[in-house]
Amino acid sequence: MLDYRKMYFQLAAKVADALDILLKAQQEGEAELMNEERFPGFKVLAIKDEDRHNQKHGVILLRMI
């Protein structure tokens, strides 16, 4: 007869290993993103909206530098 309990725990251990690998990959990707220049070759310009009804809204432009 198959030992389902042993198989279950082996599966759970492999799933935990897979989650560890995915979390490490996510953390490394986030760290790499934070260390990079956000928009290489672009400058971010914030322009105030002239429409008085939409003063809370602004426009963001990306311009090549």
- Quote the number of domains for the chain: 1
Domain that holds residue 12: 4-64
In eight-state DSSP terms, residue 53 is G
For the chain, 65 residues long, give each residue's pLDDT as a single digit of tens. 688 999 999 999 999 999 999 999 999 988 888 887 766 677 666 666 665 555 555 555 555 55
Q: How many residues are present in the chain?
A: 65
How many angstroms separate the CA atoms of 33 and 47, rounded?
26
pTM of this prediction exceeds 0.85: no
pLDDT value, residue 34: 80
How many angstroms separate the CA atoms of 53 and 64, rounded?
30
